[in-house]
Structure 1
Amino acid sequence: MAPKFPGAGTFVPPSTDLSALALAARSCRGCDLWEPAEQTVFGAGTASARMMLIGEQPGDQEDRRGQPFVGPAGALLNRALDEADIDRELTYVTNAVKHFKFVRADRGPRRIHKKPLRSEVVACHPWLEAEIRAVDPSVVVLLGATAAQAMMGTAFRIGTDRGRVLELGDAKAVATAHPSAVLRAPDDERAAAFAALVDDLRVAARLLV
């Protein structure tokens, strides 16, 4: 008997055209996250980008709008990129998981982010591999533990390895905190958390020179 959720590999076309990949991803049923989500949120940006940024998964606003990093975390990321002298328009941004995983609040319509399982990250990984093949970036920025472990293995720890230059196939990689972690930081720690994110992005930017 075929598995109910076979993983994304069944749905990924043999193409390096981002438009074709994004279109195919709309019909992905590789795991169970597609059903409660509004839509697939594929990556966005230029196919010639030298830098790719990978986060965990889309959030509530991303799920509703169908674009990655357009909510509060995206706004903070834009500020950090600007301070690091990185033009977001020249990057490609995506997530390790392409559907929003959430639980509903006990009261009201609010949808609360829920961390994806490792099995869900693995199921969605063929889409991320296809994006990397299509873009062929020189530098990959891994935003948060989920993205970092998706690419570097489950033993990878942001706390000890962030900000270092890592080898990722033919590309260089830098891991850092996810912008949402900066937003969740206590008020008296948020400025320092933001500055650390900017510092890590500057490490990645220097790799493009």
Structure 2
Amino acid sequence: MAGTPAPEDAYTAEPFVAQGGSLAALREAAAGCRGCPLHRAATQTVFGTGPAPARLMLVGEQPGDQEDRQGKPFVGPAGKLLDRALAQAGLDPAQAYVTNAVKHFKFTRAEPRKRRIHKAPSLREATACGPWLAAELALVEPELIVVLGATAGKALLGSSFRVNQVRGTVLEEEIHGRPERLVPTVHPSAVLRADDREQAYEGLVADLKVAVSALGPLK
């Protein structure tokens, strides 16, 4: 039954996932997810947003500080950069479904009351969130998935995924029992951290243009 807590060592969202419902029902159920310890420090669950079905699905890593506060994915600096890159590549962000592999913000603090510093989720935490991502995929039924960064890639394609080995290529894989086409690229936050930000941004746009070629522009 949805909402039944998982054992402490189980690390799975499966007991909380509403079966056979809409995205609205999933979002409501996800608000009470206790499938791994990340919910304890996070402000709230940050679920995916956008149309369903949708031709394009964007999967990132996890919410950041602003996403955790606002309850929406990709509303911080990385999200703004991603929207600009999508538009430049010929993809309309408003027509894509956007989500993260992990639904709670994982962070650390250098000192008490200091700003919250992003901490990458473990593969175990990403795997625990897998049932939410599987349920989203089933309802969104995307023609193409853009995989943003290593954590999203490992959540979808397994621990051997290396983003720099396959970025900007079209992959065809079975994901949660569905044949999917995927285009991996770097996470927009990696562009913000890059020494040569302009070059990194151009690389992201180039990868997204591969998605345009595979999918056709969203209109």
Same fold by TM-score, threshold 0.5 exceeded? Answer: yes
Partner residue in 1 for 2:41: 36
Structure 1: give runs of 5+ residues left out of the alignment: none
Q: Does 1:72 align with 2:81?
A: no
Distance in 1, matches of 2:100 and 2:47, equals 8
Q: Give 2:58's match in structure 1, choosing from 53, 56, 60.
A: 53
**Structure 1 pair 5–70 and aligned structure 2 pair: CA distance change class (3 A):** farther
Please tell me whether the aligned partners of residues 96 and 147 of structure 1 are also in contact (alpha carbons under 8 angstroms): yes
Partner of 1:45, secondary structure, is coil
CA contact (8 A) 1:15 1:21 kept: no
1:4-47 residue CA offsets vs partner (Å, 9 max, x unmatched)? 25410010011251111000000000000001000000000011
Distance 1:112 1:33 in 2: 14
User: 2:123·2:159 contact (CA, 8 Å) conserved in 1?
Assistant: no
Alignment of 1:174 with 2:183, yes or no, is yes
Q: Which amino acid aligns with 1:106?
A: E
Displacement of 1:50 after TM fit? 0.4
Secondary structure in structure 2 of the residue aligned to 1:67: coil
Cα distance in 2 for partners of 1:92, 1:157 equals 24
Structure 2 residue identity aligned to 1:192: Q
Task: Work out the number of aligned pairs and report it.
Answer: 206
Match of 2:208 among 193, 201, 206: 201
Q: In 1, are the aligned partners of 2:167 and 2:184 still within 8 Å (CA)?
A: yes
Q: In structure 2, what is the Cα distance between the partners aligned to 1:179 and 1:16?
A: 31
Counterpart residue type for residue 208 of structure 1: L
Q: Is 1:157 matched up with 2:162?
A: yes
Letter in 2 for 1:176: T
Opposite residue 183 of structure 1, the aligned amino acid is: L
Runs of 4+ in structure 1 displaced over 2 angstroms? 168-171
Matching residue of 1:191: 198
Paired with 1:102 and 1:61, the residues of 2 have a C-alpha distance of: 12
Determine which of 4, 20, 24 is the counterpart of 1:19: 24
Q: Any conservation in 2 of the 1:16–1:133 contact (CA below 8 Å)? A: no
The TM-score normalised by the length of structure 2 is 0.91
TM-score (norm 1): 0.95
Letter in 2 for 1:204: A
State the secondary structure of the residue aligned to 2:129: helix
1:4 maps to 8
Q: Which residue of 1 aligns with 2:97?
A: 92
Give the Cα separation in 1 of the matches to 2:202 and 2:96. 21
Q: Which one of the candidate residues 82, 86, 97 is aligned to 1:81?
A: 86
Structure 1 counterpart of 2:68, one-letter code: D
Q: Distance in 1 between matches of 2:23 and 2:180?
A: 19
Q: Which residue of 2 aligns with 1:117?
A: 122
Residue by residue, what CA displacement relative to the aligned partner does 1:144-200 show, whole Å, maximum 9, x if unpaired? Answer: 0000111111111111111111013322100000000000001xx111110110011
Structure 2 Cα separation of the partners of residues 199 and 17 of structure 1:
34
The residue type equivalent to 1:151 in the other structure is L
Query: Structure 2: 5+ residue runs without aligned partners?
Result: 1-5
Tell me, in whole angstroms, the C-alpha distance in 1 between the residues paired with 2:149 and 2:209: 16
Structure 1 residues 16 and 201: alpha-carbon distance in aligned structure 2, compared to 1, 3 A threshold: farther
For residue 99 of structure 1, give the secondary structure of its aligned residue in structure 2.
Answer: coil
Which 10-residue stretch deviates more, 138-147 or 154-163?
A: 154-163
Q: Is the 8 A contact 1:138 1:208 kept in 2?
A: yes
